């Protein structure tokens, strides 16, 4: 009684506000609920997110369209993945991501090289080197100057730049070599980040969470726990300047400050000035420096050593979040923000006057590290997935067609026949309609081949084998034809 089963499944999906994907049993993707959309002002492109701790769905990488339709469900079971985004390596566009456990070959690149890498940064620069943060290195350290033991322990963090192809480490930097522990705002008594007494409870004094590279080869890094953005010499690793924190080399415009910040990125590099963007959390769970978190764009005058506000981006409901977050300046000037620790994304006009897009994952418990928006083109290595059903072998035929991860499909051509290997005729062309397109015909067809067609009418890929139509009563056939289409 396959269809009773499927009916129950559909009901379950609807009741958990799942994407109603009909019949792909292997996909359990959360839906992106677009709650505000200003037509003509939202930047076209795809949204890349990697939710985890979602309750009803699989943790892992997902791609959605700018209007919130699922494009790719990349989760295999539950995986903790960060930093999913298109990147350029050796002149080719790849899909980059980081994860803790690699399992099997995929049609995207996983950056796994380097020493002690962690998931706080993956920034591919210079056409093929990747900047990764390094973590979890324990160092003995005299902590008496901050009220800790003389024979204490630090968690030292830093970053490295590696060649993606050869995995050679080109540059390595460790915070404990260049930054004084007194710069930290994290009290040893606040046990969450370690009390420094033992190697197991080493003190996380720095907490690096982003690294960018300047045109001159220096590195812009963000330390959450010193509330400072540093420029690090690419020649010798010394600190060239500090922005914010206890030892700031810059004065700040009155009322301007940030704390627990994430995702510092260089936007403009002039001769005597920089423009940078960052996500100001303004809150670390204990100490609050702003009413709400915000996306910030700052101008740094390198002569006067003065920081001023170019733009602040906030949401109408004033989200305050103590972790994660990202701010991305899009090519057309709009700004795309992920509100760390929440299931919430927004897009803003350059001048910050309008929010043109807001979306949240329907699973309210899910959150991720950074959100991305970008154009991206790919045809998966798999074939289109097709499920074909009919009430009886004389009745109406319905095909449910999808192709997980395909970006270029404009529509589907259906060729159908009563025999597996002969007599196929073109039934018609059907515009793609979301992640899964439902195509119905009054007549019964026992077999079909489905062809994915791009915007210029060219054939991209066919279903890997003829798809048989199952009658709804046959459980085995129904499952088999799903598998046929998905191999
Ligand atoms: C990137 O590297 C590839 C291969 O080495 C080269 O063909 C291409 O021109 C490079 N692109 C840029 C922008 O440097
Ligand atoms: C480190 O390199 C910077 C340039 O990035 C230079 O100004 C500085 O003098 C160097 N410091 C040392 C100790 O070599
Ligand atoms: C820090 O910035 C916030 C705005 O985000 C402001 O309300 C607050 O007064 C500032 N604090 C200081 C010390 O300037
Ligand atoms: C930043 O520096 C560039 C020169 O590199 C200059 O053209 C520009 O006017 C400067 N911007 C500001 C706001 O000072
Ligand atoms: C989407 O968001 C709107 C507005 O917050 C809400 O009314 C609706 O129930 C949400 N839909 C789903 C499927 O969660
Ligand atoms: C994607 O490409 C379109 C067309 O070139 C452009 O208007 C848009 O800004 C691009 N989107 C992103 C996120 O870069
Ligand atoms: C798909 O099948 C159709 C019909 O047989 C054929 O014209 C087309 O070339 C095939 N496409 C590919 C990519 O093999």
- Identify the DSSP state of 177: H
CA of 382 to the centre of ligand 7 (A): 16
The burial of 476, by beta-carbon neighbours within 10 Å (0-12 exposed, 13-18 middle, 19 or more buried), is given as: exposed
**Atom from ligand 4 closest to the CA of residue 268:** 1
CA of 15 to the centre of ligand 5 (A): 13
Separation CA 316–CA 293 (nearest Å): 12
In whole angstroms, how far apart are CA 180 and each of 129, 206, 292, 339?
A: 29, 10, 29, 30
The CATH number assigned to the domain holding 447 equals 2.60.40.10
Output the residue whose Cα is nearest ligand 7's atom 12.
461
Residue 391 within any structural domain of the chain: yes
Q: Give the tens place of pLDDT for each residue, 75-125.
A: 877 778 889 999 888 888 888 887 754 443 333 444 444 556 678 999 999
Nearest Cα to Cα of residue 48 among 452, 405, 455: 405
Separation CA 124–CA 369 (nearest Å): 17
Reading the block at residue 107, the tokens are 């049609």
Q: DSSP letters along 181-194, please?
A: GGG----TTSGGG-
Nearest Cα to Cα of residue 361 among 336, 338, 334: 338
Let me know: does 418 contact 445? Beta carbons within 8 Å: yes
Separation CA 128–CA 123 (nearest Å): 10
Output the residue whose Cα is nearest ligand 4's atom 6.
270
Separation CA 63–CA 69 (nearest Å): 9
For residue 415, the ligand closest to its alpha carbon is: 7
CA of 333 to the centre of ligand 6 (A): 11
Count the domains in the chain: 1
pLDDT of 19 = 39
Mutate to test the pocket of ligand 7, among 417, 462, 466 (most ligand atoms within 8 A of CB): 462
Mutate to test the pocket of ligand 7, among 384, 416, 451 (most ligand atoms within 8 A of CB): 451
Let me know: does 220 contact 264? Beta carbons within 8 Å: yes
CA of 57 to the centre of ligand 6 (A): 30
- Give the side-chain half-sphere CA count within 13 A for 317: 9
**Atom from ligand 2 closest to the CA of residue 236:** 1
Residue 30 within any structural domain of the chain: no
Let me know: does 116 contact 127? Beta carbons within 8 Å: no
Task: Give the chain's residues under pLDDT 70.
Answer: 1-23, 25, 100-117, 472-487
Q: Give the tens place of pLDDT for each residue, 229-274.
A: 999 999 999 999 999 999 999 999 999 999 999 999 999 999 899 9
For residue 328, the ligand closest to its alpha carbon is: 6
Output the residue whose Cα is nearest ligand 2's atom 10.
236
Residue 308 near ligand 4, beta carbon < 6 Å: no
Nearest Cα to Cα of residue 222 among 182, 195, 267, 258: 258
Residue 451 within any structural domain of the chain: yes
Strand order in the sheet with 219-223: 208-213, 219-223, 228-232, 239-243
Residue 235 near ligand 2, beta carbon < 6 Å: yes
Residue 419 within any structural domain of the chain: yes
CA of 88 to the centre of ligand 1 (A): 9
Count, residues in the chain: 487
Residue 467 within any structural domain of the chain: yes
Separation CA 323–CA 286 (nearest Å): 12
Output the residue whose Cα is nearest ligand 6's atom 12.
374
Residue 184 within any structural domain of the chain: no
**Atom from ligand 2 closest to the CA of residue 234:** 5
Q: Give the tens place of pLDDT for each residue, 286-319.
A: 999 999 999 999 999 999 999 999 999 999 899 9
CA of 92 to the centre of ligand 1 (A): 8
**Atom from ligand 2 closest to the CA of residue 233:** 5
Reading the block at residue 241, the tokens are 């300047």
Separation CA 128–CA 113 (nearest Å): 13
**Atom from ligand 3 closest to the CA of residue 292:** 5
Separation CA 50–CA 373 (nearest Å): 13
Residue 423 within any structural domain of the chain: yes
pLDDT of 241 = 98
Output the residue whose Cα is nearest ligand 4's atom 2.
270
Q: What is the pTM of this model?
A: 0.91
Counting other chains too, the contacts that 304-307 makes at CB distance below 8 Å and 24 or more residues apart are 304/251, 305/241, 305/249, 305/250, 305/251, 306/250, 306/251, 306/252, 306/253, 307/243, 307/250, 307/251, 307/252, 307/253, 307/256
Separation CA 67–CA 44 (nearest Å): 9
Q: What is the largest CA-CA distance in the chain?
A: 84
- 3-class SS shares of the chain: helix, strand, coil, % to 5: 10, 45, 50
Instruction: List residues bridging with 431 in a β-sheet.
Output: 411
Sequence-separated (6 or more) residues with CB below 8 Å from residue 173: 158, 159, 160, 219, 232, 237
Let me know: does 217 contact 234? Beta carbons within 8 Å: yes
In 10 A of CB 445, how many CB atoms?
A: 22
Let me know: does 106 contact 73? Beta carbons within 8 Å: no
**Atom from ligand 7 closest to the CA of residue 462:** 1
**Atom from ligand 5 closest to the CA of residue 33:** 1
- Structural domain boundaries, residue 447: 385-471
In whole angstroms, how far apart are CA 176 and each of 78, 145, 207, 316?
A: 34, 15, 11, 40
Residue 413 within any structural domain of the chain: yes
């Amino acid at each position: 009684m396959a269809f009773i089963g499927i009916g129950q499944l559909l009901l379950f999906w609807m009741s958990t506000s799942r994407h109603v994907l009909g019949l792909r049993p292997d996909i359990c993707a959360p839906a992106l609920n677009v709650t505000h959309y200003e037509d003509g002002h939202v930047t076209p492109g795809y949204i890349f997110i990697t939710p985890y701790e979602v309750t009803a769905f699989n943790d892992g990488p997902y791609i959605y369209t700018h209007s919130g339709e699922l494009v790719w469900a990349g989760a295999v079971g539950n995986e903790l993945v960060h930093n999913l985004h298109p990147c350029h390596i050796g002149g080719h566009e790849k899909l980059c991501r980081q994860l803790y456990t690699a399992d099997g070959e995929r049609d995207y690149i996983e950056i796994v090289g380097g020493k002690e890498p962690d998931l706080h940064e993956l920034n591919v620069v210079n056409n093929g080197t990747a900047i990764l943060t390094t973590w979890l290195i324990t160092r003995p350290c005299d902590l008496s100057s901050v009220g800790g033991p003389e024979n204490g322990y630090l968690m030292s963090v830093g970053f490295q730049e590696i060649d993606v192809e050869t995995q050679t480490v080109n540059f390595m930097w460790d915070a404990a070599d260049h930054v004084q522990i007194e710069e930290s705002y994290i009290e040893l008594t606040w046990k969450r980040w370690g009390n420094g007494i033992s190697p197991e409870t080493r003190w996380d004094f720095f907490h690096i969470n982003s690294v960018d590279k300047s045109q001159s080869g220096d590195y812009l890094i963000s330390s959450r726990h010193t509330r400072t953005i540093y420029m690090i010499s690419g020649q010798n690793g010394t600190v060239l300047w500090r922005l914010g924190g206890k030892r700031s080399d810059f004065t700040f415009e009155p009322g301007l400050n940030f704390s627990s910040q994430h995702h510092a990125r260089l936007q403009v590099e002039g001769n005597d000035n920089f423009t940078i963007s960052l996500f100001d959390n303004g809150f670390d769970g204990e100490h609050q420096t702003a009413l709400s978190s915000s996306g910030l764009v700052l101008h740094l005058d390198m002569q006067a050593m003065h920081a001023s506000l170019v733009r602040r981006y906030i949401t109408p409901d004033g989200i305050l979040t103590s972790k994660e977050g990202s701010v991305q300046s899009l090519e057309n000037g709009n700004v795309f923000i992920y509100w760390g620790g929440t299931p919430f994304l927004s897009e803003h006009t350059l001048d910050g006057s309008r929010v043109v897009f807001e979306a949240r994952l329907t699973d309210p418990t899910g959150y991720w590290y950074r959100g991305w928006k970008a154009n991206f083109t790919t045809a998966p290595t798999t074939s289109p997935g097709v499920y074909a059903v009919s009430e009886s072998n004389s009745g109406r035929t319905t095909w449910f067609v999808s192709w997980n991860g395909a970006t270029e499909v404009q529509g589907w051509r259906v060729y159908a026949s009563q025999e597996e290997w002969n007599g196929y005729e073109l039934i018609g062309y059907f515009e793609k309609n979301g992640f899964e397109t439902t195509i119905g015909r009054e007549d019964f067809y026992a077999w079909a081949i489905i062809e994915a067609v791009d915007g210029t009418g060219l054939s991209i890929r066919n279903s890997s084998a003829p798809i048989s139509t199952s009658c709804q009563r046959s459980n085995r056939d129904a499952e088999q034809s799903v598998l046929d289409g998905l191999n």
